[in-house]
Amino acid sequence: MSKKVIGILSMAYGTPTAVEEILPYYTHIRRGRPPEEQQLNDLIARYEAIGGLSPLNEITGRQVVGLAMQLASLDPDNEYRVYIGMKHWHPYIEETVKQMHADGITDAIGVVWAPHYSSMSVGTYIKYAQEAVEKWGGPANFKFVQDWHLQPLFIESTARRVQAALEQIPAELREQTPVVFTAHSLPARITQSGDPYPQQIEESGRAVAEAIGHGNWFTGWQSAGRTPEPWLGPDILDVIKEQAERGVKSLVICPFGFVSDHLEVLYDVDIEAKQLAEELGIQLVRAASPNDEAAFLRAVATAVLEQVEKD
Ligand code: FEC
């Protein structure tokens, strides 16, 4: 009997692949409003500080290959074709859905390379995919993974990476070192509509802290947008200042709202937050990103397969 073909639309943020693409990319993030010159120059400077451009596309590519391998080994009875669709750069989600339909895919699962659901993050990826399905007339049977923030293999692999970070702290300070789990901030108004995002961040944090038996942990927010409205806080830079005032000498940050090394991790944590911590006499260690770690990719593959089985 021939295998059932299932298309996987894996959706990632996307990043420019050349300096000239930073302006259209930034304009797309701002829903078509071009940034002011100063905002653009600030963004270019942040990319320059991490080496010119972001490694995000390259890492997403490796994650997609790894996800396909995990799916093939976990479920050899079906055939999985893994596609990549980006939110803010080519290939856009819409372009990829068109390709999947043209390739004759009728059964598909969408999954976002981000563990926590918010209507303003994962919800918009799913909306773009659904709009594209409507526009192109397929794939007909399209289902979506909403979140995978408590997927046990995700919690286990994050716990291992946080433990490895803690081990870089001198033994006598380790137990009292706060572990701060961070995610991208969003406008605070999301809480008024009962958005599950802050609660999911808290739940993942608790599960990881319990897995390593570390009592001193809390959540924080990073990379808030540069707009006047209130964003979810406390911001990680305020957390560092507050911890310094309390006499804290070491801190671990685990930016588990992201799954790759990219601008928001390599600049906002590794440069900006580390610089502030250093000025205030705090040793700041960041937990490694999952990137294409096999155990992490198995977690995402398992979340996808759970959705397949929900037929
Ligand atoms: O490495 C790279 O080149 C790209 C890294 C990147 C990731 C990422 C993930 C998330 N974002 C989320 C929400 C927002 C909201 C705004 C916003 C703005 C930016 C800008 C850049 C950027 N984001 Fe992003 N985000 C990344 C990059 N993001 C660049 C524009 C400059 C700036 O504000 O810093 C505000 C939009 C607006 O102005 O209206 C909101 C969320 C995530 C995590 C989930 C996910 O990965 O999708 C949420 C990676």
- Regarding whether 215 and 124 lie in a shared domain, the answer is no
- Regarding whether 15 and 144 lie in a shared domain, the answer is yes
pLDDT of 263 over the 90 cut: yes
Place of tokens 């078509």: 32
Instruction: Estimate to the nearest angstrom the gap between the alpha carbon of 21 and the chain centroid.
Output: 22
- Regarding whether 261 and 160 lie in a shared domain, the answer is yes
pTM above threshold 0.80 = yes
- Regarding whether 270 and 160 lie in a shared domain, the answer is yes
- Regarding whether 137 and 40 lie in a shared domain, the answer is yes
**pLDDT grade for 310, boundaries at 50, 70 and 90:** confident
The reported pLDDT for the residue numbered 1 is: 66
Question: 206: CA distance to ligand 1 center in Å?
Answer: 25
- Regarding whether 259 and 303 lie in a shared domain, the answer is no
- Regarding whether 16 and 141 lie in a shared domain, the answer is yes
**pLDDT grade for 2, boundaries at 50, 70 and 90:** confident
- Regarding whether 130 and 248 lie in a shared domain, the answer is no
How many domains would you assign to the chain?
2
Q: pLDDT tens digit string along 77-136?
A: 999 999 999 999 999 999 999 999 999 999 999 999 999 999 999 999 999 999 999 999
Name the residue with the closest Cα to ligand 1, atom 18. Answer: 225
CATH number at residue 157: 3.40.50.1400
Model ipTM? 0.96
Instruction: Judge residue 227's burial from the number of C-beta atoms within 10 Å of its C-beta, 0-12 exposed, 13-18 middle, 19 or more buried.
Output: exposed
- Regarding whether 179 and 131 lie in a shared domain, the answer is no
| Residue 88: domain span | 4-148+293-309
pLDDT of 227 over the 80 cut: yes
DSSP annotation string for 223-259: ---SSSS-BSS-BHHHHHHHHHHTT--EEEEE-TT--
- Regarding whether 54 and 118 lie in a shared domain, the answer is yes
Under 8 Å CB-to-CB from 237, ≥6 apart: which residues? 272, 273, 276
pLDDT of 311 over the 70 cut: no
Question: 106: CA distance to ligand 1 center in Å?
Answer: 31
Q: Across the chain, what does the average pLDDT equal?
A: 97
Ligand 1: does its nearest atom lie under 6 Å from the Cβ of 26?
yes
Ligand 1: does its nearest atom lie under 6 Å from the Cβ of 263?
yes
Name the residue with the closest Cα to ligand 1, atom 8. Answer: 13
**pLDDT grade for 170, boundaries at 50, 70 and 90:** very high
**What percentage of the chain has pLDDT greater than the value 70?**
99
Which two structure tokens, joined as six digits, stand for 48? 């320059």
- Regarding whether 267 and 168 lie in a shared domain, the answer is yes
**pLDDT grade for 252, boundaries at 50, 70 and 90:** very high
